[in-house]
Structure formats: C-alpha cells, structure tokens
Structure 1
Amino acid sequence: MIQSLVKAANVLEALKDANRELTIAEISEILNIPPSTCHRILSTLINVGYVTKNKRTPLYTLGPALISLGMKASSNIDPGEVEKEVLKKLSDKTMEDAFLIIKSGDKGLVLAKSEGKHSLKIVENFGLEIELHKGAIRKTVLAFQPKEYIDYYLDRDLESYLSESVDREKLRKELEQIREDKISISDSEYIRDAIGIGAPVFNHKSELVGAIGVVVPKERVDEKIKKDYIDAVKSCSIEFSKKLGYSFK
C-alpha cells in the first residue's frame, strides 16, 4: 500500500465529509497528520485539479476535476450487482431472508431477495405487491416520498392492519420518525407474528432507490436479536447507498 496515496485519499474524504471549505489546520486535526504533510498533499491535489484553494482566504475545497471522475465512476456502477452483494451480506449477517422493495404505484414491490439459512421463515415472493403502509420495509419507502405524495396517500381509503384500523395521524408521525431515524420496525401489520425491519437506500443523486430489510418470525426475536438485526439492516443500507454514490453528510 502506498501511504502517500492513502493520505491524499483521506484528505479528499475529509473535504467531502465536511461539505464546506476547510483550513490546513482543520484537515490536519481531522486526519491527525502534521500541517506540513497536509500542505504538501493539498499542493499536489491543487495541481491536478482535485482541490481548489480560495483566492481570498486560506480555505480549501474539492476541485472541479473530480466531477468528471465521479460521473465516470457512476456510469460504471451496476446496481444489480451491488444489490446482490449487499442483500447477500444482510442475509448472511442475520441468517434471515433479505429483501429489496421499491415503490410500484401505491404499493411496495419485492424486487430482489437473498435467502437466509433459517428454515422457518416468512414468505415474501418476487413481484408481490402490498400497500405501502404495511410492514417496515414498505413503510420506509413511503416515509421518504415527497410530502405531497404522503398527503395524497394518507387521504386514501387505507387497508387495515391485521389487528386494527389505520390511525392516519399516528401513521404520519411514524413516517416522520422513520425519516429522522432512517430505520423502521413493524409488528404483525400484514403477516401474523412477524417482525419487520427496514432502512432506505439512496443513489448518487440523493434519490430514494427503495428500502432493504428483513421479515422475521416473532418467536425468534428477543431484544438483543432485534438490536443486532437493526444494526445489520442499518449498516447494509448505508453500504448499499455508498456503493451507489450517495454521500452521507
């Protein structure tokens, strides 16, 4: 591994994550490298157009040469391969079936699935369409729709959950919480004795691609296992989004 290249990549990452102009001192502190080293790296990156220095202040930001690189990298991404890889990782981590669900009209559609090793499982088949407010993964898709669409959706005649009718205001607050937490959990909303956990996936344009997650028999879930599943779904959704070029701020 060439350490100078690693340090240069880390400088670019620091500028990207900060989402603002930074001084040499700030970059040095973030990366724990000497200011002199930081200055040499920045000078090189400026020469190739990957970093720009503000002409009026000692501030640095990402340069225009990175735009074409990013566009080229995005064009080489195969979402299908990323999808298979991440869903397989999620099913391996949890040993449960992992799903990718997208919006299809006013319903959520199972687009992809990776089978886990547990023999007792909840059946969700390819092409299965269910109302968006039912189940954690579909509800995640609904939560990240535009406000106008959510208003329209909540004004519809909504199918009841298994054990109760839909409280629209409660659902609206739940969708707001899902947007804030980027995680959703459901309990027996359309499959009896099933726990669902879902999280959103975004692309390089910060657009919602869909949601991934697991649907698990309730008898197999205690609080520790639920936490482990939540962590697994969250981490895989973040990995999926990053691989599609989404930038977390």
Structure 2
Amino acid sequence: MIQSIRKAASILEFMKNHNKEYSIAEISESIEFPPSTTHRILNTLINCGYVAKDERTHLYKLGPGLIALGIAAVSNINIQSESAPILKHLSEKTQEDSFLIVKSGNNGVIIGKSDGPHPLKIVENFGIEIPLHKGAIRKVILAYQPKEFLDDYLQRDLAPYLENTEVDKDKLIEDLKKIKDTGISLSISEYIENAVGIGAPIFDYKGEFVASIGIVAPLSRAEDTGLEFIENSIRESADQLSKKLGYMK
C-alpha cells in the first residue's frame, strides 16, 4: 500500500466522522501523524478540493470536491451485490440461511439470500410476498415505516398468524416499538410452525431505512446455537451493510 495515500485516507476518514472544523494539532493527534506530515497532506488535499481551509481561523474541514465523488459512489451502489458477501458470512457464522428483505407494498419480498449448510431448512424463496407483520425480518420493515403508513396498515384486516390466531394489534404496536428501541427483531412460529426469525435494519447514506437482514431457522437448532449469539451476528452484519451503503451513526 502506498503510505501517502493511506495517510490521506486516514485524514479524510477522521474528518468525516464529525461535522466541524479542525486544527492541524487536532488532526495530527487523532491520527497519530507528525504535524509536519499532516500539514503537507492537507495542502495536497486542499489542491484537490477534498479539504477546505479557513484562512482567518486556520481551521480545516471537508471540501466540496468530495460531493461529486460521493454522488458518483452512491450511484454505483447496488444493495443486492453489496449484501452478497455479508449474507454469505452471516450464514457461515450462524450456520443458517440468511436473507435480505425489502418492502413491496404491504408485504416484504426477498431480494438476497445465502444458504446455510444444514439440509433441514425453513423454506423462504425469492419473489414470494408475505405481509409485513409476519416474521421478524419483515416486522423490522414495518417498524421503520412512516407513521401514516403504519396507521393505515394497522387499520386493515390483518392476515392471522398460525392456526388462525388473530393478530393482537396492541401487542404488534409494542413489538414494533421494541424493535426500534433495541435494533433487533425476534419472532417465533408466526407463519411457520416451530421456526424462529431474527432480523435487523439496514440504513443508507441519508440515514434512511432501506431493508432488513436476518435469518430464519428451526427453533430448536437456533436455541442450541444461542439466540443471543445469532442476534449479535445479525447486528454486526446489519452494521457492515449499512456502512457499505454510506451510513454513519
């Protein structure tokens, strides 16, 4: 790796995490470069338009040259291709099938999948649309919808859970609030008997919800693996994919 490029990237990476201006001392201390090196790299970045300097205060901030690069990068992002290696790693880690699901009207539809190694599976296929209140991964989508959409959805006659179990809308509202509070969703036997689903949200560079990621597995097997372990693995995968889409916490 060319060290000068790595150092320049480190400076830009540091400066993007905070919406403020910096002195050379702050930047060099944070990235552990000598002030002279930091000053030289900053001057180069200024010439490229990637950093701007306030000549009155002698403070530095990200420059307008990065805007065009950012727009170009966003236009090249495809959530399905970006998610593929993350789904694969999630399946390897949890030993279960993993899924990427997006909203389609009042339903959730699978647009990405990676198979786990077990022959016994909970069948979920591409293109099949299932109501958003059924299953943990789809509930994530419902939880992050605008209030107007959610109010309209809850006024509808919702398809029952297994064995014609009527949907308790008050409990559903509590579940959706918990999902937003914790960033994780878990459901058991809502539309597949003795199956567990666990999901988490994906956000884009604007901080907007775009999809959900998670696993569906036989309950007994997931319990043997450890539900907390699976939840943490899914959170990690969700964070990785969100970061690939440009999301910054």
In structure 2, what is the Cα distance between the partners aligned to 1:78 and 1:110?
A: 15
Instruction: Determine helix, strand or coil for the equivalent of 1:197.
Output: strand
Deviation at 1:116, TM superposition (A): 1.0
Q: Identity of counterpart residues, as a percentage? A: 54
The two structures have a TM-score, normalised by structure 2, of 0.88
Instruction: Determine helix, strand or coil for the equivalent of 2:120.
Output: coil
**2:108 equivalent to 1:145:** no
**2:117 equivalent to 1:117:** yes
**2:199 equivalent to 1:198:** yes
Distance change in 2, residues 1:224/1:37 (3 Å) = farther
In structure 1, what is the Cα distance between the partners aligned to 2:198 and 2:153?
A: 22
Answer whether contact 2:122 2:195 (CA < 8 A) is retained.
yes
In structure 2, what is the Cα distance between the partners aligned to 1:160 and 1:59?
A: 60
In structure 1, what is the Cα distance between the partners aligned to 2:187 and 2:135?
A: 6
Per-residue displacement from partner, 1:129-163 (whole Å, max 9, x unpaired)? 21101111001111111121112212222233337
Partner of 1:232: 233
Instruction: Determine helix, strand or coil for the equivalent of 2:99.
Output: strand
Deviation at 1:47, TM superposition (A): 1.9
Aligned CA-pair RMSD: 2.2
Instruction: Determine helix, strand or coil for the equivalent of 1:18.
Output: coil
Partner of 2:75: 75
Residue identity in the other structure for 1:103: K
Instruction: Determine helix, strand or coil for the equivalent of 1:61.
Output: strand
In structure 1, what is the Cα distance between the partners aligned to 2:225 and 2:30?
A: 34
Answer whether contact 2:195 2:216 (CA < 8 A) is retained.
yes
Q: Where do residues 1-249 of structure 1 align in structure 2 (5 Å cutoff)?
A: 1-162=1-162, 164-222=165-223, 225-244=226-245, 246-249=246-249
Answer whether contact 2:20 2:61 (CA < 8 A) is retained.
yes
Aligned residues: 248
In structure 2, what is the Cα distance between the partners aligned to 1:59 and 1:145?
A: 40
Distance change in 2, residues 1:247/1:56 (3 Å) = farther
Which sections of structure 2, spanning at least 5 residues, go unmatched?
Answer: none
Residue identity in the other structure for 1:19: N
